[in-house]
Every structure is written in C-alpha cells, then in structure tokens.
Structure 1
C-alpha cells in the first residue's frame, strides 16, 4: 500500500492506494479531514486533530491550530513550554502514519508528501525532518499544483496537450495559491505561481461571523465575551460560533440559505447565499485579480488554457467559479470533495514502481494443437483506464454547451439532481424534457447518479427524443457539469416576496419561474399551469421582474412592483412550489 499526504494549514488529508490500484481516503474521527491542530497540555501530553481542539477548551494556551503557518520558525510557545515547530508537524504526520499502518496491516511501501509550489529547500528540509521524526521512511515530495494536474488528467480524464496549460486555483483554509501547470518531458511542472497569504477559508468564516455581528449590534456584552473569552464556558461558546460559521459557509455552497446560532448572544440567524456572497465578494475578487496577474506575467493567453481546476475546500463556493468563468471565459472544473484532490493526485504524480523479477524462469514452450491467432497490434489495444475512486469510474467532463443539462432542485432543506434537455415540437415551440417517469420526476442525491439514471435506462421521457442513443453514450463516459444557472430554489421566491420589493431577489425569482413553468408542463400539472400561464398574476410578476433587470426601465419597474398584492404573490408561489413538490421523488 502507498500513502499520499496533503499537509494543510487547517486540515491534513491522507489517501491510501492498495496494490490493486483502488484508492481510499483515511478517516480520522469518521472524517477524511484530520485537523492539523496540535495541543500540548500542562503535563506535556501532546494531542492532534479533534482531540487537540477539544482539549484546548480547558487550556487554550496549549493549542497551535495551524503548525504549517509556523514552518519558518524554529520554535513556538505552547502554554509554558517552548516547542520545536518541526515536532508539531511531526505529531500530525505521525498520526497519519499510524492510521495508515493500522488500515493497511503494515507500513506503507511508499509515501508521497505534497507541499506548496513556492516552498524552497529550507522549508522542504524541515518537512522531511518532521517526517523522519514521525517514523516515516524517506518521502517523495510533489508540489501541490502538480498533484492537482495529475488528478485532473488521470482521474477526470482531461488532457493537457503540449503547448497548453492548466490553471490550478487553490483556495484552502489559510491561503490562496494560483499556479500555471504545463506538461514537460518529465511530467507536469508548475512554471508560474502566485497567491495571497491573507485570503482563505478562515477569512470567509470570518465573513459569516462579521455578518452575524452586524445583525446583532446591540449585543455588545455577548460579543465581548466571544471575542475575548476568559472562562472555559466562553471558550466553548467561541469555538461553537466559529464551527457554526464554517458549517454555514459550507451549507451555502449547496443551499440558498443556512442557519447560524450565536451563543452568549443567544440568537438564531438566517444567512442567505446572496448575503454571504455580497460580503465575501471582495476576498474572491482579489483571488481572481491575482489569477489574472499571474497569467499575464507568465504570458499565458486564454486560448492556451486547457482547463481551470478548483481545489481546496473553499473553492466549492459557487461565486468563486462564477467570477473565474466570467473573467477567463473558461468554465472551471470543481468536484464534490476538492479537499481530497491533492492527496489523491500525489499518487498519480509519482506512479508506483513496477516490480521486476530478479531471476525470471524461462517459460516452457507451449504445446499447440491448433493455430493461435496473433495478438492485436499494440496500437489497437484499449488504453489503460485508471481505477475507480469510491466506486465512481474515471470520467471526463462534457462541454458546457452539451444539449443535456444537469439540474439541481432545492425545496426547503432537500436537494436533488436530475437532467433536462430541450426539443422543438411540430409547432416550432421549444419545450423542456426531463428524465421523468409519467407525472413523477425521480431526483438523486448526487449529480452523477442522476446522469447514470438517465443514460442507463429507457423508462423515462428523454429516451424517446431524437438522437438519444448518441447523447446517452456521451453521458456514460463523461460527467455533466453543474452550471450555476441550472441551480433552482423553488420555495425561496415566496420567502423573498414577503420582503419590501426593493429587497426582492429578482434573479432568483425569475429563474425559479422558468423552471416551474418547465416542470408543470413536463409533469402535466394543470393547476400549476393555471397559476403560471399567460396573463396570470405570477406571469405579470415575471414580466415586471424582467423589466426591473433592465437598467433603462429599472426605476419605473420598481414602481410597478409595488402595485402587486404581495399576499397573493406569496400565496400563489407557495401553491406552485407545493404542487411541483408533490410530483418530485426525493432521494431517501
């Protein structure tokens, strides 16, 4: 078994590769993310991961939450003890090594350890010494963007031809790194790098906390205790607040709103994705500007970019991909668990050695009783496919303009995925067709499950459209991208319409109206068609909202919006969402 390790600022990820090629992330406290925090107690007991964070509630001076940030320091103080930074890093690596030995039933045969592309000899020497003190045999180093490029090519099946480049946008917990990777005779190399030391997931957590602070400005005493805790109870409250902020940030990547409890202030808040993105926009704008600066300095043109790959846990924020796409005009690639990319890609950036017998015995001549056909030429042999990861076969990603779209539907706290295409009827009207079964639309927990359902069966409406066979063949070997414009929230319009018209989420309501009309016709919901059809109240609202989106008509349109009966609008939208919801089969 081989081990790939991504030692990160806030979390460390380890991926094990067995001799048969299967790859599995190691779990620490039931999570693939091992907190990089290290704790040294008054009795000199050293703890790592979640154990360190829990112990620090009683003795906060003993915690170093981000050892990687101190790699340039010889020592640091934990409580009343001076500790070598290399020993803190070694403690994290030792925890990873012990778990790998336990899972594999013995020591891994090789360890590949990633590092930031900008790290030079001194920092790498410290990292190597930490691995040695952790009891790990000599490791192989791989720059993080090179590992990401290896994942991009080997697992996602995306090629980086000679002369083309891959842009690796790494928004981790503590820092932002941007790298330009190209293929060389020796493999991949990062030939241009840049980044921001003061932008990362922790700063975006702070955005959520600051937003909560702005909504509870009168609770100064509670916030003073959260900002400067003096007791163990205050320490726990502060930890709960920041964990809640991180969870809310992550939830807003998948849902349009999230709840946050502010301890000591004792209030429950609702945070919308729009509010979060507005507050986070300055940070994300800086990452995009840095990306463009690095590309310009390296002489990279738009035409030479083979792909933009988003890695690091905070890169799943939808606004990050949207801003990059708008600036670079290249659709970024992001996966469900971008935190695992670097640790996994390490194992493909440094292939496993192929065992060679030292004294092979000559094979006896075969006894042929009938002619044996010659083997096919090597040029016709099927290309080697990388192994499945967590049961998911390796695939590429279909282009953005592929005629079948992945669709995300949200109602309340439920999220499901399906696929959709458009066809033109005999009357020259374009209508949406979903992978529906009569009046029911099955939804799936994961995007690839929705694609596999549509491509693998003939019991749904899409199977009867022209050219379906060729479309399903493409879907069977490549993922459908989830584009921001194909994410719909069916019940949020009624919530938004309860507010003052100036605060209405115009784009969201218009998008929800589009998908609602498509679903009421595709699933044959007459009552929904009556509520959304031409000339109805909701149809007139849609016209007014679209006018409000046009700057030339915005002032008059906002006056027109105030003329609507908000109670009827809210009631109508709730009825529409309920009708559609009753025809959706949500994943269990």
Structure 2
C-alpha cells in the first residue's frame, strides 16, 4: 500500500538545530488542521505541510493502493465522493458512526488518526527528528467521549497525547504571549472561535502569562460548513427552478454543491457580489448572489453565535464594559458579517491581529512547553468556587444496584504552570458533571449535579447518597455530563460499580461519593460507607471506550494501509 508524499512546495526545507525531541501543538480541525512547535528562540512556529502550506485539509481519500490525506484528497472529493471521508471531527465519540468505503467501515477516530499521521510525518520531515508527543486542541464544548476519542486518534497515529486543551483557551494563550510586551495590566478578552465545523466562545482573564478561563460556551455542531450548506441548498434550488431537477439527486451531487458553495462563500467574503456558474448533467446555471443576500440567507446561523456570547457574558455575571478585547479566531471569522455582528453586539472593535488559522495550534505549542519540566507552584492560584470544594450534602438521592459492567471517565484540562515557559493556565469544565439517582420522595430519576459547568479546575465535590433497597450487593454511580434535572439529554459518561458491600445492609445506608478533577483533567471517583469506615474500590472503564477487539480491528486496518508505525 502507498501513502501520498507530495514534494514540499515553497516552505523552507531548512532543519532547525534542537537538542531534544519536540512536543508539538496540533489544531485538529473539522475542515483543516495545523501543527506547530516552539523553536529555540521561544517563538511558536507553524510547521508547513509536505505541500508547502500552513494548513492541511482534514480529508482522507481511500483507494485500492492506499490512502491520501490533505490537499489531493480534497481535490478527489469532486470525482470520487464515495471514497473520501470528510468532517469526521463532528462524529468523534459517536460509537454508532462509521464511514463505509469499499466495504470497510472506518470509525471517526481512525479517520482523524490518518490526518494526525500526515501532520506527524510532515513535521518529522521538516524538523529532521522523530515527533512522538503532542498537545491536541478540542472545542471547549466537546463532551468527554469526544475528548477521549481525540486522544485515541492521537494514539493510533503514533503520538503520546500529553494533554488536550480547549481551542479558545489555546487561542488566548497565543494572543496573550504575542501581546505581552504591549500589555499595561490585566485584561479580560472574549475569544470568538468559529471554525469549519464547531463554534466556541470563552471569557479569559489574562495577567502577564497567567490565563484564567472565566467561562465557556459553544456548539460542537455549528461552523463554517453550515454556512456552506445554506449556499449549497440555495444553488440546488435555483438550479431546480431553471432545469426541473435538483443536482443533489445526482451521484456525488452533494459534494459538488458544497465545493461550489465554499468557493462562493470565499468570493463573497472579499467582494460585494459574485457570479454563480455551475454545470450539472450537461446543463448550466448562471446567476448572481450579493453579500447582502448571503447574509440574509445565513442570519439564523449568525444569531445562534450572537445568543451564545450574550448568554456567556450574562452567566458570567459581568457586562460588556468589563471586557477589554474581542479576539476572532477560526477561518470562518473572515466573513464580514462576523466582524459587524461582534462590533454591534459588544461595542468593541474585534481584533484579528493573530492568524485566524494558526493561532490555536500556536497556543497549543506554547502550552505544550509547560509539560517539558516539572510544574512550578502558581504565584496566585485561583480560589476554588463553591462547586470546587469538597463538601458533603444531605442524603436526598438514592442510588441503585446494578449488574452491568463498569465504564470509564475522563475530563478536560485543569491548571498547569512551568517556569521555563512562564505560562500558567486554569481552565473550566464546559458541562455539568452529575450522578443519576432516584428521588427519595417521588421515586423519579434525577440528575444530581456534582460539579457545575464553568467550575475552575482542579475541582472536587463529595455528596452523600443512600442505598435504594435492602441487601444491595453493590451500587452503581452513573456519571453523566449536561442534561436537565431529570437527566434528559445528558451524555452518559460511564458507570462506576462499587462491589463487595457488606451483607445485610438496610435500604437507606449512606454512601459517600467523591468526585475530583485533577490538574490533568482526569475524573476520579471514590465511594465509602461512613458508618463502617469501609472504602469500596471502583473499577472504571469509559462508556464509549473501544473494546480490545475494536482496537485490534483499527490497528489491523492501519497495518493494511501501511500506516501502523
């Protein structure tokens, strides 16, 4: 099997002199990805692809003789749409999803691992040394299964994923370090990050090289590709009016429409109007679209981001007058409607002084430097919130016994600092972390929140529950993210089973459940019986974790593709 290794383009082939293996920062995007490192001068630098470009399309072409990732795969989308995998990032953590190509099912982790593999190989060629360690960014609004799937993809690509960091936090790091010499004091910035497939916004307090995330919000299913889809539907409808059939009904029609729509969006980003010329099945359509038409067509998408940032500021208990800067990152923020909306909504002129495409990877690379040496004590650690302290609460919820196998738990990044880089980061969790139990009074299912969203990490909490029936042999701690008070729409993170309870326990026996997010973002769960002092051991395995058979199957596929290095 073969792998596409197109010769380098205009990027310099000069290899830097370094004394140790680098740790890189990777922005693994829905539509495009970027890899960066911090050079010997302490500056974050984008590592160009083998094609000589700063970004790599997150697109994979599967052929009988191997795979092609990046620019050439994107070109093939127009002629071989059934052999190309795109937008896999949106499906990360979805165990029900796989892309069927030529009789083989490719899960999203494997597709993303192929993108990561190309980034790694290109970086090794540029730097002239092995690249085995990385910090990978994820949308702040990614839930736990999506975060762990990203880590799995890195492992499949031959990377030791030292950490995952939220994309808007990474952008804030890049901005803060870049502007440090100009800063006159602490400042609060709003990061508006609209990428190809996801949207995030975070409020970040910057004081020198200390970065404290105040709050975050977003939508993992909203991005520039949704603007493309609106344009594609418009072209499809205009063509049908002119010729009596929809191009979307043709084989490969959807892919071609999206490509035309993306080009139209780019034209309307720089011009007030654009000519539209498309040909399908030997018939052509020629028409025009103005920027005003485009903005009216997509106003509902823009409004979703407007609502998110307004709610973010409101929930944070601050006003726009307390925000000093608005930072736009993500390639989709080039659309003029984004700048106009932000200026009108906030009263602040948005900044785009750092690269919209490269800022996240640069911030990840700077953060990665904190992992090269032992952490240093923070000079002024953030005070834990009420939700960040370990305090027992009254026993108002029962937890049931279970016979199901246990599942696993992981979280997002916490606080890290390092003397060599001087960067200290305190992030927050984007979703409530709760336990599903039974209300003692009503007998109904309830979602008992243990750690509320936007709690600074690390954080800890202890809650007291009670056994639900007499003689329970075990209890299950069903961990969820998000959802309402009844647990509806919550994401199941996993079940932690406590076995070996003493015999003859009466219903209502108290059980203390302790949750802790540590600085590495790992969720720890412990349970104890306070009356006897007995501590029960927990076996934790993640709900969406691939089985050993599934892991072996993915490794076998990579081996068949010649990519199991």
Specify if TM > 0.5.
yes
- The within-5 A match list for 1:89-488 is 89-108=112-131, 110-157=133-180, 159=183, 161-162=185-186, 164-183=187-206, 187-213=210-236, 215-216=238-239, 218-221=241-244, 223-224=245-246, 226-230=247-251, 235=252, 239-264=255-280, 265-335=283-353, 337-351=355-369
Q: Distance in 2 between matches of 1:141 and 1:127?
A: 8
Change (3 A) 1:135 1:141: same
Q: 1:549 maps to which residue?
A: none
Cα 1:276–1:304 change in 2 (3 A) is same
Residues 200, 219 of structure 2: 8 Å contact kept: yes
Contact preservation (8 Å) 1:2, 1:18: no
Larger helix fraction of residues: 1
Cα 1:136–1:17, aligned 2, differ >3 Å: closer, same or farther?
same
Deviation at 1:168, TM superposition (A): 1.0
- CA distance in structure 2 between the partners assigned to 1:97 and 1:61 by the alignment: 26
Q: Alpha-carbon deviation of 1:91?
A: 0.9
For residue 217 of structure 1, report the CA deviation from its aligned partner: 5.1
Aligned to 2:67: 46
- Native 8 Å contact 2:141 2:200 kept in 1: no
Larger mean CA deviation between 336-345 and 319-328 belongs to 336-345
**Closer/same/farther in 2, CA of residues 77 and 282 from structure 1, 3 Å limit:** closer
CA RMSD of aligned residues (A): 3.2
Contact 2:235 2:257 in 1 (8 A): no
Is the contact made by 2:204 and 2:214 (CA closer than 8 Å) also made in structure 1?
A: yes
Instruction: Note if 1:34 corresponds to 2:50.
Output: no
Flag structure 2 segments of 5+ consecutive residues without an equivalent. 1-21, 375-419, 423-565
**Secondary structure at 1:27's aligned position in 2?**
coil
Residues 336/207 of structure 1: CA separation in 2 closer, same or farther (3 Å cut): farther
Q: Give how far 1:216 is off.
A: 4.5
Residue 120 of structure 1: CA displacement? 4.7
Aligned in 2, Cα 1:189/1:38: closer, same or farther, shift over 3 Å? farther
Q: In 1, distance between residues paired with 2:233 and 2:356?
A: 26
Q: How far does the alpha carbon of each residue in 1:93-116 deviate from its partner, in whole angstroms, 9 at most, with x for none?
A: 111000000011112475221112
Matched, 1:8 2:29: yes
1-side partners of 2:231 and 2:302: how far apart?
A: 14
Distance 1:274 1:178, change over 3 A: same
SS in 2 for 1:130: helix
Deviation at 1:278, TM superposition (A): 2.3
Contact 2:185–2:208 (Cα < 8 Å) also in 1: no
Shift of 1:198: 4.4
**Higher relative contact order (Cα pairs below 8 Å, separated by 6+ residues):** 2
Structure with the largest fraction of strand:
2
Q: Work out the CA distance in 1 between the residues paired with 2:325 and 2:184.
A: 8
Distance 2:270 2:285 in 1: 23
Matches within 5 A, 1:525-540: none
Q: How much has 1:185 moved relative to structure 2? A: 10
Contact 1:316 1:334 in 2 (8 A): no
TM-score (norm 1): 0.54
- Note the alpha carbon deviations across 1:178-229, whole angstroms, 9 max, x for none: 22222489932433222234432112113333444555453244x52x2022
Runs of at least 5 residues in structure 1 that lack an aligned partner in the other structure: 357-383, 387-588
Residue 342 of structure 1 deviates from its aligned partner by: 0.5
Looking at structure 1, the residues matched to 184 and 365 of structure 2 have their Cα atoms a distance apart, in angstroms, of 18
